[in-house]
Amino acid sequence: MQSSSGSTSTIDTRHVPVLLQEVLEVLNIQENDTVVDGTLGGGGHAVRFAQKLGPGGHLVGFDVDSAAVARAREHLRGTQAQVSLIHDNFRNISAKLSEYRIDGIDKAFFDLGWSSDQLEVSGRGFSFNRDEPLKMTLSDSGDESVLTAYDIVNTWQEENIADILYGWGGEHFSRRIAREIVKKRSDEDIESTKQLADIVAHAVPAPYRFGKTNPATKTFQALRIAVNDELGALKDVLKALPTVTKKDAVVAFLTFHSLEDKLVKESFRTWAQEGIGEVLTKKPITPSRSEVGQNPRSRSAKLRALKFTHDAKTHT
């Protein structure tokens, strides 16, 4: 069966949820809670959240990828709790909770990583391991005005490309790569992930080209962040959370990038200093060696959690 994104199935998933037991422990979901899963992805976390909820509970799930929403809907069939699945970015949490007449949440979880379904079978060019169109957008609306990786590498100025590769990917050879991109696109448009990966490999020094990780890793990461405005979305939801949470609500973030983790850490510190929150994870929780061995993509994961000590109505 084909999904709306052209992948193999909207129901099957290859994604393995990261730090699942640790997430459940920090959230401590009660049967009548209203729980937000900000990134449904493969549905692994959402299903376990639903299992903790009773008939009086409410699971609210967000995802900008319609295939993820479809997978979650199928996996959550028969759930006791009320389920609301929203095809939208979690950055719009305030507006959507109001639209659904949800008056405050008790628990919220945001997995900021990319699911295996998106990386491996979405058909949108997220991974250099597959030769796919150079899109990298989570949106499957078909709107031609949506920014894509194709737009960035074929139309942006060399300096701007280098800046995002360094700033959001930590790519030390950003200027060399940007220069090579601009050179190659003068001959023909860069349309596929293979073209881009080959350009990156040609631009970097040989030792880097044949290192432990693919030399295109940081370039692809930076482009995914830029295309989907991931840091902007994170800032928006962090700004909104104090206004949509109930007293003693717990929020948890699973990050995979230092910039994301820094934003979460700083927000938690600010809320604690303002007296509206209590940090539950003095240090981030990270995967065990065993989990990393079974799921290598979990290696950079960091889990942070905070409990709001004031009701949203008192600190809007």
| Closest residue by Cα to residue 222 from 164, 179, 261 | 164
- Residue ranges in the chain modelled with pLDDT below 50: 1-11, 13
Specify the CATH class of 140-227 in words. Answer: mainly alpha
Q: What share of the chain is helix, strand, coil (3-state, %, to 5)?
A: 45, 15, 40
pLDDT of residue 55: 97
pLDDT of residue 14: 54
pLDDT of residue 3: 31
What ranges make up the beta strands (E) of the chain?
Answer: 34-37, 58-63, 82-87, 105-111, 245-255, 277-279, 302-308
Where in the chain are all domains bearing CATH 3.40.50.150? 20-117+230-314
pLDDT in tens, 217-261: 999 999 999 999 999 999 999 999 999 999 999 999 999 999 999
pLDDT of residue 122: 56
CATH of the domain spanning 20-117+230-314:
3.40.50.150
pLDDT of residue 143: 66
Where in the chain are all domains bearing CATH 1.10.150.170? 140-227
- Measure the CA–CA gap between 229 and 239, rounded to whole angstroms: 16
pLDDT of residue 129: 85
pLDDT of residue 312: 62
- Measure the CA–CA gap between 200 and 216, rounded to whole angstroms: 6
pLDDT in tens, 174-221: 999 999 999 999 999 999 999 999 999 999 998 888 887 899 999 999
